[in-house]
Amino acid sequence: MKLLHIVSSYPPYKGGMGNVVFEEARELAARGHEVHVATITYPGIPEFHGEEDGIIVHRFPAQVRWTRTGLSVGVEAMMHDPSFDAVHLHAPFFGVQELAVFRMWFGWRPQNLIITYHMDVVAGGLIGVVTALYRRLFLKTLLTKARSIVVASMDYATGSWLSSFWQVVEPKVMEIPFGVDTARFYPEENPARSQVQLMFLGGLDKNHYFKGLGVLINALEQLQDRSDWKLLVVGDGDLRAGYEQQVKDAGIAGRITFLGHAIGEAERLYRESDVFVFPSTDRSEAFGLVALEAQASGTPVVASDLAGVRTVVVDYKTGLLVPPMNVSALATAIAWMIDHSEVRASMGKAARERVESFFTWEKHVSDLVKVYEQQTHKR
């Protein structure tokens, strides 16, 4: 099949949605499909049309840009190419999806549109105004015209913006959880040591404000009298200096190490860590790929009890869930993990087994291909 993925960000830009599309496209290409990805340029990532890793990538300039998205006439125009068997839009893609809806209002009837609904957008200011207009004016049309709607977590979907149009969504929605590369992320036994190694991985920029590192630092401040833990922070961005100052102000600078992006090191760090902490703060966190990667590495997770995240982490089986933004509850859960090494090991083993059963890219893409084939037969 000839397939087109439309996404607002794509590697080397770092972001969960783009990483999902890269893994999907790579696996689809390995199965012999002709896979195209249309996205927008970013500073340092210029316009490009050609092959990358066996995938045909189209990077178009955006005529209007804001944060991680933008309106690109070139990207939207590719959606109308009749040579594609399936056009797979990864939403939200503000700018492109609204332009597509305008064309739908004026007569365009897509026959092969598939949408993966990744997440709601929780924001204030101008972005909040834009998202409110999108939800009120455009989303229903977009969902109505799609042949299929894919979600990674039905738990998240039923409480998301999709719920406002559930009569439209329900007949065509299907849950296909995202995956993890189990050959790349795998467990190994760690030697005994005096300190439990905690790990956080996430963007330290304004676009990823919801990752909750500030909440984690506050929680660890409550544990500063304990000498049996240390934290590795993997990630970078314009908020890093503020987090580093917060750590100094809390008096725990000697216990927390900021590693930056640590390119090529994440796999090893997951394996070497005893607990992965995933303290996301709101519904902008819709799933949790990094929590899956940690569990594939045999590392249990302390995570926020959010819709979608609950699909990834099973409370008291593969980790612990705590109320989001609750500093004391997070500190208590981390302390409990530190104190129960045997349970940690058991959780890590269960986490790996669950990933192997439910969360591989091979399984994800096999289910996705069935969706494409169904839509191709309907045309």
Kindly state the helix (H) or strand (E) to which residue 308 belongs, with its residue range.
none
Task: Confirm or reject CATH 3.40.50.2000 for domain 196-358, answering yes or no.
Answer: yes
Q: Which whole-number Å values give the CA distances from 158 to 169, 264, 291, in the listed order?
A: 10, 36, 22
- Tens digit of pLDDT for each residue in 272-281? 999 999 999 9
Identify the pLDDT of residue 99: 92
- What length does the chain have? 379
Identify the pLDDT of residue 133: 78
- Tens digit of pLDDT for each residue in 198-256? 999 999 998 889 999 999 999 999 999 999 999 999 999 999 999 999 999 999 999 99
Q: What is the mean pLDDT of residues 12-35?
A: 92
Identify the pLDDT of residue 84: 96
Query: Letter for the amino acid at 367?
Result: D
pTM more than 0.75: yes
With a cut of 80, say whether residue 351 has pLDDT above it: yes
The token pair at 57 is: 């990538």
- Tens digit of pLDDT for each residue in 152-178? 999 999 999 999 999 989 999 999 999
Q: How would you classify the pairing of strands 86-91 and 2-6?
A: parallel
So where are the chain's domains? 2-179+360-378, 196-358
With a cut of 60, say whether residue 379 has pLDDT above it: no
Computed over every residue of the chain, the mean pLDDT equals 93
The CATH architecture to which 2-179+360-378 belongs is 3-Layer(aba) Sandwich (3.40)
The set of residues, in sequence order, having a beta carbon less than 8 Å from that of 46 and lying 6+ positions away, is 59
378: confidence class by pLDDT, cuts 50, 70, 90 = low
Domains 2-179+360-378 and 196-358 share a fold: yes
With a cut of 80, say whether residue 41 has pLDDT above it: yes
Q: Are 283 and 307 in contact (CB under 8 A)?
A: yes
With a cut of 90, say whether residue 32 has pLDDT above it: yes
Q: What is the mean pLDDT of residues 300-316?
A: 96
